[in-house]
Structure 1
Amino acid sequence: MIHTGDDYTHPVGPEMNFNESMYFQFYDPEQRLGGFLRLANRPNEGVGERTVCLYLPDGTLAFGYARPQVHGNDAMMAAGLAIEVAEPMHKLRVTFVGDVSMLADPRSMIDPKRAMSTSPTVDCSVALEYNALTPAHEQTFDGDGAAFAPNHYEQLATVRGRISVGPKSFMVNGHGLRDHSWGPRSWQAPWFYRWLHGSSATRGFMVAYFGDPDGTSRRGGFVFDDGRLHPCVDVEISTERDDDDYQRTVLVIAHGEARSWRFDGVALSSVPLRHRSVDGSAHTRIVESAVRWRCSDELELHGMAEYLDQIQDGRPVGQSV
Structure 2
Amino acid sequence: MDYSGIHRPVRALVPADDGDHPIEAHPFFNESRYIHLVDGAAGVGGWFRIGRRPNQGFAEMTVCLYLPDGQVGFMHAKPSMAAGDGLAAAGLSFQIDAAFQRMRVRYAGPLCLMPDGRAMEDPKAAFKTHPRVNCTIALQLTAVAPAHGGELLEADGRPYDEGEGRYFARAHYDQSLRGSGLITVDGRCHAVNGFGLRDHSWGPRIWQSIPWYRWFPCTFDEGFSICLIMVRKADGEHVETGFVHEDGEMLHVHDIALETDYDAQHYPTGFRLRCSDERGRIYAITGETLNAVPCRHVRSLADGATDTTRIMESMTRYTCNGKVGYGLAEYMDHVADGVFEGVRAGY
TM class by shorter chain equals: over 0.9
Fraction of identical pairs, as percent: 36
Preserved CA contact (<8 Å) 1:287 1:307: yes
Distance in 2, Cα, partners of 1:170 & 1:86: 24
Q: Deviations over 1:271-311 (max 9, x none)?
A: 111111132421111111111001132x1011111111111
User: Within 5 Å, which residues of 2 pair with 1:113-124?
Assistant: 113-124=124-135
Q: CA deviation at 1:140?
A: 6.8
Secondary structure in structure 1 of the residue aligned to 2:68:
coil
Larger displacement relative to structure 2 (211-220 or 20-29): 211-220
CA RMSD of aligned residues (A): 1.6
Secondary structure in structure 2 of the residue aligned to 1:244:
coil
Aligned residue among 63, 72, 88 for 2:99: 88
Q: Which amino acid aligns with 1:188?
A: Q
Aligned residue among 79, 89, 97 for 2:108: 97
Q: Who is 2:339 aligned against?
A: 315
Distance in 2, Cα, partners of 1:24 & 1:221: 17
Structure 1 residues 110, 86: closer, same or farther in 2, change over 3 A? same
Preserved CA contact (<8 Å) 1:23 1:36: yes
TM-score, structure 1 length as denominator? 0.96
User: Within 5 Å, which residues of 2 pair with 1:9-20?
Assistant: 9-20=20-31
Preserved CA contact (<8 Å) 1:9 1:73: no
Give the number of equivalent residue pairs: 320
Distance in 2, Cα, partners of 1:277 & 1:140: 26
Structure 1 residues 305, 49: closer, same or farther in 2, change over 3 A? same
Unpaired runs of 5+ residues, structure 2, are 1-11, 153-159
Unpaired runs of 5+ residues, structure 1, are none
Aligned residue among 290, 293, 297 for 2:318: 293
Q: Who is 1:43 aligned against?
A: 54
Aligned residue among 233, 237, 242 for 2:258: 237
Q: Deviations over 1:115-156 (max 9, x none)?
A: 111000110011111101000000679965521121100000
Q: Who is 2:186 aligned against?
A: 166
Preserved CA contact (<8 Å) 1:83 1:94: yes
TM-score, structure 2 length as denominator? 0.89
Q: Who is 1:211 aligned against?
A: 232
Distance in 1, Cα, partners of 2:331 & 2:173: 19
Q: Which runs of 4+ in 1 moved over 2 A?
A: 139-145, 212-216, 278-281
Structure 1 residues 270, 75: closer, same or farther in 2, change over 3 A? closer
Q: Which amino acid aligns with 1:216?
A: E
Q: CA deviation at 1:196?
A: 1.1
Q: Who is 1:305 aligned against?
A: 329
Secondary structure in structure 1 of the residue aligned to 2:175:
strand
